[in-house]
Amino acid sequence: MVIFNTVTKKYKENIIALEDVSFRIDEGEFCYVVGPSGAGKSTIMRLLIREEVPTSGSIYFNEIEVPKLNRRLLPAYRQKLGVVFQDIKLLNTKTLEENIQFALEILDKSKKEIKDSTDYLLDLVGLRERKNLFPQELSGGEQQRGAIARALANKPDLFIADEPTGNLDSDNAKQILEILKTINKNGTTVMVISHDFNLINGTKNRTINIKDGRLNSDTQPKDIDLNNIVNKKVEVKEEKKVEEPNLEIVKEEKKESKPEKKERELSSEFKSLNKSIKKKFKKFAITEPEILLNITEGDLRNMKLTKKEHKELTSFVKKYLSKKS
């Protein structure tokens, strides 16, 4: 399902986050990625969700070469992933139930599907009785469980939890891990990223240890063979030998058959926004508000918004969410 092949990620001033890292995670695995703070663990997640691209090496997810993904396809790609970030990211203006429902609304689910899925997910994380509370009214463990439920709304192939037990006591941490193992038993591949080595005490699950940006150890190393992926992705067609063509005729045919370049149309919802923002939306293929809600902080940095544009965009998103409510 996941292949990192000799992946290196460098930042400015020769800061190396990852260096020559290779591993393979198969479908249905439960895998820990552990290491001290600053080891490069979260960089693995950011590369996998395509918030960043590697300096060198290749990354595959289900035969998709992640770094080469067109920006327009990013929202669809990210829907294959369920991600719980370290800072949780629940919407504070919505109840726990509304947070999960909103994730399903973006996927255009029917009212019945939204209700049934929300009830199922609340039961899965044991929070049915807390569904009408806002995030700030929930304990840290409950917020984490709520974030897990929301991340599962799109039925992801791979579930990534970044420091899911970082700020929790041992009882809550144990409860979170039990939920993640249940998710895995139901067929979802799970990757848990953590600096807490206590999590892996006595575990039989695979553990990938990252230290100083390098792969320090792997309890269940797997061979990496890219031949099957390349053969599936690329079709090589044999060229036929033909007589030397008349170049003038070829030029005319190319001229006539050249398709007109269509400009991407933006949603009318963006009508009130500044022209400079809309221009950047077109460049990054953000044609609908739903796509805007699915981008990451890294994507925003890549857009190079001015302070004024950032403020205007923040205001727009708040109004849009309020309208959605």
Q: Assess if residue 262 is contained within a domain.
A: no
Q: Give the mean pLDDT of 15-42.
A: 94
Q: How large a percentage of the chain has pLDDT more than 70?
A: 86
CB 151 within 8 A of CB 121: no
**Interval 146-198: pLDDT, tens:** 999 999 998 999 999 998 888 788 888 889 999 999 999 999 999 999 998 88
Choose between 214 and 282: higher pLDDT.
Answer: 214
pLDDT digits (tens, 9 = 90+) for 311-323: 888 888 888 887 7
Would you say 278 and 286 are in contact if contact means Cβ atoms under 8 Å apart?
no
Q: What is the pLDDT of residues 184-216, one digit of tens each?
A: 999 999 999 999 888 888 889 999 999 999 999
> Residue 236 pLDDT more than 80?
no
Sheet holding 81-84, edge to edge: 81-84, 158-162, 189-194, 30-34, 206-211, 214-218
Q: Looking at residue 176, what is its pLDDT?
A: 92
Q: Is residue 296 part of a domain?
A: yes
CB 265 within 8 A of CB 308: no
Q: Which pLDDT band, with edges at 50, 70 and 90, does 325 fall under? A: low
Three-state SS at 70: coil
Whether 288 is in a domain gets the answer: yes
Angle, vertex CA 124, rays to CA 119 and CA 130, nearest 5: 60
Residue 275 lies in a domain: yes
Question: Which of 302 and 122 is assigned the larger pLDDT?
Answer: 122
What confidence category does residue 230 fall into, taking pLDDT thresholds of 50, 70 and 90?
low
> Can you give the pTM of this predicted structure?
0.71
Report residue 98 as tokens. 């509304």
The predicted structure's pLDDT at residue 196 = 87
DSSP-assigned beta bridge partners for residue 56: 8
The pLDDT of residue 234? 33
In a domain, 96, yes or no: no
Q: Which structural domain, as residue segments, surrounds residue 313?
A: 268-324
**SS3 state of residue 192:** strand
pLDDT the model gives residue 238: 36
* Number of domain units in the chain: 1
Choice between 270 and 239, residue whose per-residue pLDDT is larger: 270
Question: Which range, 85-94, 187-196, 267-276, has the best average confidence (pLDDT)?
Answer: 187-196
Residue type at 101?
A: Q
Decide if 309 is inside a domain.
Answer: yes
In a domain, 303, yes or no: yes
Q: How far apart are CA 3 and CA 13, in angstroms?
A: 28
Asked whether the predicted pLDDT for residue 81 surpasses 90, the reply is: yes
- 301 in a domain, yes or no? yes
Spatial separation of the C-alpha atoms in residues 176 and 171, rounded to whole Å: 9
CA 237, CA 153: separation in Å to the nearest integer?
41
Q: Please tell me the predicted confidence (pLDDT) of residue 228.
A: 66
Alpha helices per DSSP H over the chain: 41-48, 74-78, 96-106, 111-124, 140-151, 170-185, 227-233, 247-257, 275-283, 289-293, 297-303, 307-324
